[in-house]
Amino acid sequence: MRRAVPMPRVEEEDLFESSTMTFGEHLEELRVCLIRATLGLAVAVLLGFFFARPVVHLIEQPLRRALGNYYTKRSIETFDTFQPRVAGGPPLPYTRGEVVDAVERHGMSFELREVHADRLSRVLESGTGEPTVRERFDPESLVPILLWQPLSRDSRVSITTLSAQEAFGIYVKAALLVGVVLASPWIFYQLWTFVAAGLYPHEKRLVRLFLPISIGLFMAGVSLAFFFVFDFVLDYLLQFNEWLGLDPDPRISEWLGFVLVLPIGFGLGFQLPLVMLFLERIGVFDVETYASQWRLAVIVIFVVSAILTPADPYSLLFLALPLCLLYFGGLAICRWMPAAEAGPRHQPETKASQ
């Protein structure tokens, strides 16, 4: 009697036969994904024009706050370092406690000026309209005064533009910033769609898992930069100006460029543990490689952080140090969540039983 030929087992089937793509097909898939991502970004930027004005005011807040803290500190230092022109000369007409209360509690600022108090209401003239004596300027009789105004109206805290058309450019950049944030989920979706096109069926499941995590990490990096890092970086840069004896006169367009670069750099950098886990799952790297090459990884992290951030040490450290922690976190995740052993891609053919 003729024996039935056994059906091949599931693990003997070639799961990868339908997933191969030529180089030209990869390029075509990349072109389609880029077009879709660009169209999504364009739509998001158009929506961003409706929100650009409040976003500009929101972006100004960290810089105005840093400038306010800078000049508040300068005001108290000006009071502490004041010396009369002559020994025993007139002091400042306020106590230190009054000055600290005014600048810290009431949000006031002042400028130190000097006047001749005895000449405020005095007019020197003779019967013929000529001065009775020749007047000479006497610097030793100057009396210090403080000219007060609200800190919010202080010209030193205002953010300037240098041309009429610069304001329009700021508006466009703010709309672009809103568009990038709004379109980031769609852009990441297209990016992972392109990656998935070249993967095997069992690897494509990772894309559906990694996409929401990728978006969450990007938003976490952007939020960290905007709500935490900006204040430290601005304080450092303003202190450096003070150390050089320079008064900052920031322009909103330059600050907006800083705002565009730093959060996006943080958002991209925070993809590190996800990229590590993805590369480990598809077999490009393994846990042992991550563990043995951590020194090289730290060097690469600092180099990439220097590229993604402006030229100041604080922003570099604030990106590089979290990325180092994320690297070891990604290593721990890969170690604690080992990939399942994949079966052989092709089983050897077996002879039919006679």
Q: CA 208 to CA 193: how far, in whole Å? A: 9
Do 179 and 242 sit in the same domain of this protein?
yes
Do 49 and 67 sit in the same domain of this protein?
no
Q: What is the pLDDT of residue 338?
A: 62
Do 77 and 124 sit in the same domain of this protein?
yes
Beta bridge partners of 213: none
Which among 123, 153, 183 is the end of a domain?
153
Which among 131, 153, 175 is the end of a domain?
153
Do 140 and 249 sit in the same domain of this protein?
no
17 in any annotated domain? no
Q: In the chain, what are the helix, strand and coil shares in percent, each to the nearest 5?
A: 65, 5, 30
Q: What is the pLDDT of residue 71?
A: 83
Which residues constitute the domain of residue 301? 23-54+161-336
Q: What is the pLDDT of residue 237?
A: 80
Do 39 and 170 sit in the same domain of this protein?
yes
Do 43 and 101 sit in the same domain of this protein?
no
Do 49 and 60 sit in the same domain of this protein?
no
114 in any annotated domain? yes
Q: What is the pLDDT of residue 21?
A: 63
DSSP state letters, 83-121: --SSTT----SS-HHHHHIIIIIS-EEEEEEEE-GGGTT
Q: CA 166 to CA 181: how far, in whole Å? A: 23
222 in any annotated domain? yes
CA 203 to chain centre: 33
How many structural domains are present in the chain? 2
Q: What is the pLDDT of residue 39?
A: 92
Do 233 and 308 sit in the same domain of this protein?
yes
Do 138 and 181 sit in the same domain of this protein?
no
Express each pLDDT in 106-117 by its tens digit. Answer: 888 888 888 877
Do 85 and 211 sit in the same domain of this protein?
no
Mean pLDDT by 10 residues, the chain (354 residues): 48 44 74 89 91 84 83 83 81 86 86 77 49 64 85 79 79 86 85 73 70 83 83 81 78 76 82 83 82 89 81 79 88 74 40 40
Q: What is the pLDDT of residue 342?
A: 39
Q: What is the pLDDT of residue 87?
A: 79
291 in any annotated domain? yes
